[in-house]
Chains A and B, each alone.
Chain A
């Protein structure tokens, strides 16, 4: 897949918006549910042997005769997971949906790593086994980009199984799924449910190209599914175009409705729309990203 590295620097002023408390083990600048060292006082607890005596509140001890230890809210980083669909269907479009998804994934990774949010990047749905890479800061960004550039869309593996393998058992603070969701209804539902289970409010970037939004079917009689090899005869003409548009509308509405039901943030990503426009407009408006200075971008 192709990634425009130069375009990534434009998003330096953005960062991922946290939905809840950060859960990553890595220290960062986001509020977390962990108590420990920090600057913001959180609570007291009874002293246990082995606790750092510097944390004992001696005023309370002299006043009440009870040794209490001061606890502080720890600041952690967001754990971000990015899953990119690299199935055969992502190889279509102009530009290719896979390239567009890779650019968006790289953008998310750069935004996260710039603020020390660890990123786990994985590809699923392809003919190869699931590929993944991790990075905890900007030093690891080249590795992620290298992974994206190395992988090419193709094949039609078990998307759900591969996604489960990618996600693992751990939950993430933010999950970004980039896919065209061109699966049968059950598979799509399983994918979305798995995403919803892996993250409090996952983000699904629905990558669509011309082949889905307005396919050119003039003089086309037969179509072959690139992933399954299924062939069907299709009609053309104004009536067929209208029927296709209606079916497309229904399909998109169903996916969006399902995402809403599962608490998934659904964002449509047209390949004709540049990544910068999508990030700075749709994702910023959808509170997926925010400006580091706050307010409007």
Chain B
């Protein structure tokens, strides 16, 4: 802080005559009194009757006047005026969804107002850049002296996305900041989910927002539960309300309401719901929280995911009969393009299938390339699996419950007349274990995933169980081509969203920004100092009044003493 008018300190020499005036004894007075009868008691030797130095008569008065002089000189010197070189400011504006929170004005609105004030307070020559971090991390405005432009661009932004891109944004800002000397990065954020990386330029924080209650959908996924149109919707609502609440969750397919769920939210934490519901055809599943009184952020009260868009799965079934249970199960699946061939039927060289199912060995040529392979009861050496021989009536003891293939599939008590006992290699893993050994293994063969099952389904009662249909549906899901990313995130899975909106006490390695106090120009320091000087002089002026009151009190006490 350099004074703009250093010459003003010369005025401090005025303190000398002020002190001299106070040290100077006033001329002693001669007073006419009613009678000297009583005053003879204090008749004493004569004091110097002319001017002389004495102790300061009123130390308080002298101190006030000197203090007023110093503050006035400081005010004239104008210490608030910084004469340093122009600076570079790289503003990193958080535009994540949590910045949409607010009671009345949003945090982003507060940030815009603070930025507008800061831009107004910028001096000519100061350069400002604007980087945003939210749905998109990008440099909105490079270093420019057009401060109004920065405020204008900031005014066009909307809260969206998360703060995951903040480290990248700060690194971008750091790169811009390093272009000139003495630059600073100013992070304008609520601090929610903000991770501050190590930067060369110091990061200052201009914090916005206050803690508040909020609840929002943090997870939403949908998947088909079976091949008959039943879907499974998984939703998680995260609460930071501070009190328990009951909300309604409305589920929609496109714009049609399909169900309304009641959800009990805890004061703090997650409320999960797994809901199975038959869904009509549609491309988009959405969930919305309703009947929530205290909620600062509306953006996370709605979530939507894209539904599987009817990705077709081409299946080749090699069977000795065209009317197998397996073929019928695949035909039931609405998204399967099934082709059934015999073991000796030739295939075109360019035939491609997402899933090849072997109920019998294919002998007409090599298996079609690509896709996934499922083999039931064929010679295991065909897929590179070692067998310990055939066992009769094996009992299934365990199967991989978490494996996607066995979702809603129960193999308990399965009646198997015979099966091959398998010996999976190190690269293979058993997914069904019986009392005689492994009955099914998974692994990779020629770059494709395969599942080998040591028995044929239609030789057991599996095909009579509902689990068989589910197994076929699981095979279709397993073999389906990978879902494509959409604007609303990966199919069936909600993109990440910020629901906890309470600003943290401290954001990384940051310090309070100077721009947080930019309103100061409305009342510059020199004015404050001059006002303080005026107050001090007024106090000094009132001092005699105080002394008179003191004397009056003293006389009253004297009278009381005399009266007693």
Contact = CB atoms under 8 A, between A and B. Distances in A.
B562 A226 contact: no
A223 B558 contact: no
Given A220-B28, A221-B47, A244 B33 contact: no
Interface string B547-564: 000010011101101110
A268 B35 CA distance: 18
Given A248-B38, A270-B559, A215 B29 contact: no
A47 to B, nearest CB: 61
A214 interface: yes
Contacts of A227: 34-35
Interface string A214-244: 1111011111111110111111000011011
Contacts of A251: 37-38
Given A214-B558, A219-B29, A240-B44, 11 more contacts: A88-B34, A89-B34, A217-B31, A221-B49, A222-B30, A223-B33, A224-B33, A225-B35, A227-B34, A231-B30, A243-B41
Query: Chain B binding site: helix, strand, loop or mixed by DSSP?
Result: mixed
A248 to B, nearest CB: 6
Contacts of A240: 42, 44
A212 interface: yes
Q: Which one of B38, B39, B49, B559 has the highest number of Cβ atoms from chain A below 10 Å of its Cβ?
A: B39
Given A219-B29, A221-B47, A182 B562 contact: no
Interface string B33-62: 111111111111111010000000000000
A232 B29 contact: no
Interface in B109-149: none
13 contacts: A90-B34, A182-B34, A215-B39, A217-B31, A221-B29, A222-B29, A222-B31, A223-B31, A224-B31, A230-B36, A243-B42, A245-B558, A247-B41
A34 interface: no
B26 interface: yes
A170 B46 CA distance: 51
A180 to B, nearest CB: 7
Contacts of B28: 219-222
Contact of A92 (B33, B45, B559, B563): B33
A210 interface: yes
Contact of A210 (B31, B32, B555, B563): B555
Nearest to A156: B35
B561 A182 contact: no
Nearest to B556: A214
A97 B34 CA distance: 10
Contacts of A90: 34
B139 to A, nearest CB: 75
A42 to B, nearest CB: 46
The 3 closest A-B CB pairs, nearest first, are: A214-B555, A247-B41, A235-B44
Contacts of A243: 41-42
Contacts of A270: 559
B37 A182 contact: yes
A39 interface: no
B29 A244 contact: no
A247 B38 contact: yes
A213 interface: yes
B562 A248 contact: yes
A257 interface: no
A90 B33 CA distance: 11
Interface string A178-221: 00101110000000000000000000000001111111110111
Contacts of B29: 219-222
Contact of A234 (B32, B42, B554): B42
A231 B41 CA distance: 14
A240 B44 CA distance: 9
B285 to A, nearest CB: 93
Contacts of B555: 210, 213-214
Nearest to A211: B34
B554 A215 contact: no
A35 B45 CA distance: 67
Contact of B35 (A214, A226, A245, A246): A226
A59 interface: no
Contacts of B41: 243-244, 246-247
Chain B interface size, as a band, is 20 to 34
A287 interface: no
Q: Which one of B26, B36, B37, B559 has the highest number of Cβ atoms from chain A below 10 Å of its Cβ?
A: B37
Contact of B32 (A182, A217, A226, A252): A226
Nearest to A253: B562
Interface in A103-132: none
B359 to A, nearest CB: 122
A287 B34 CA distance: 31
A249 B28 CA distance: 27
Nearest to B35: A182
B26 A219 contact: yes
B37 A184 contact: yes
A212 B42 contact: no
Contact of A226 (B33, B45, B49): B33
A268 B559 CA distance: 12
A235 B40 CA distance: 10
B49 A234 contact: no
Contacts of A226: 32-35
Contacts of B35: 89, 180, 182, 225-227
A269 B127 CA distance: 82
Contacts of A88: 34
B39 A244 contact: yes
A213 B45 contact: no
B36 A213 contact: no
B42 A220 contact: no
Contact of A215 (B26, B33, B46): B33
A221 B49 CA distance: 8
A119 to B, nearest CB: 28
A277 to B, nearest CB: 14
B554 A244 contact: no
B554 A214 contact: yes
Nearest to B563: A268
Nearest to B41: A247
Contacts of A89: 34-35
Given A213-B555, A252-B562, A223 B44 contact: no
Contacts of B47: 221, 233, 235
B39 to A, nearest CB: 5
Contacts of B45: 233, 235
Contact of A224 (B32, B44, B551, B562): B32
Interface in B525-564: 551, 554-556, 558-559, 561-563
Interface string A86-104: 0011111100010000000
